[in-house]
Structure 1
């Protein structure tokens, strides 16, 4: 059992980890029910992850057709003290496709985290916004150190 100090330190590390990462690995199923993984930039807004993906990418169709997906946000393996305990968080998420209208704050967040001019350019193309609302989560902070977590 962790002490209150150790728990607070782990919680602070978890929050910092989520705020520093810019991409998420998304696991869905393809049209044949086979596992499919992709990676996309994400932002956090209103208790959820948002990704913005192109219609020409395979993961667009798989996200569009999915009710749930599993996502993983992972740390930099080059800085890991033990590769078996690389820092990561994974969540089961409910998937919803969203209209761009009414989500200006999400696009502002994308612009701040990536490149505002690029985001403006993509908004005129075949990209679609998805909200991934995390449910069950697990955070691994090192070898033998794993915590059940909520996204917030």
Structure 2
């Protein structure tokens, strides 16, 4: 398979996998520098993910103070063939808070509404809910043992895909 065709195949797998999930794991950084993990339902935008989070939640306050985040979208363990090699994609992302009166806010809320339903329309009217656009810096797609790929570029599927061939090694006796 040609390199270009291989990249397109992995790109499509990543996009299909993201579309198959409805929530993501979100790691943010607290004021004291400690990591904090949570989750949020999400929608897929133009090379970004949208999350609507109450500022009452720790992860929203963390993103407002420090917009660097890590996102993990992972296969359900109940349906995984191998618990130790669940299909997943993770990203290092920049979180951008969107202004309530902006066209970007409307696009994000509409995108979330189409994907997640009516509740988004109610939550988006509450003043404590903030809409974040999560923009990838880089990513990694893992579809099993010895099948891990670095996603380079600021896109969800990766502008370039590199098979990570340096893998597991046996311990020396």
Q: How many residues align?
A: 149
| Partner Cα distance (2:7, 2:93) in 1 | 25
Match of 2:64 in 1: 64
| Partner Cα distance (1:29, 1:91) in 2 | 15
Q: CA deviation at 1:7?
A: 5.5
Q: Deviations over 1:95-146 (max 9, x none)?
A: 2111122122221221121122x11111221200111100111000112210
Query: Scaled by the length of structure 1, what TM-score is found?
Result: 0.89
Is the 8 Å Cα contact of residues 82 and 143 (structure 1) preserved in structure 2?
no
Q: CA deviation at 1:70?
A: 0.9
> What are the ranges of 5 or more consecutive residues in structure 1 without an aligned counterpart?
none
Whose strand fraction is larger, Structure 1's or Structure 2's? 1
Match of 1:139 in 2: 141
Which one has a bigger Cα radius of gyration? Answer: 2
| Partner Cα distance (1:74, 1:129) in 2 | 22
* Segments of 4+ moved more than 2 angstroms: 3-13
Q: CA deviation at 1:37?
A: 0.5
| Partner Cα distance (1:131, 1:6) in 2 | 29
Change in Cα spacing, 1:25 to 1:104, as seen in structure 2 (3 Å) is: same
Query: Scaled by the length of structure 2, what TM-score is found?
Result: 0.79
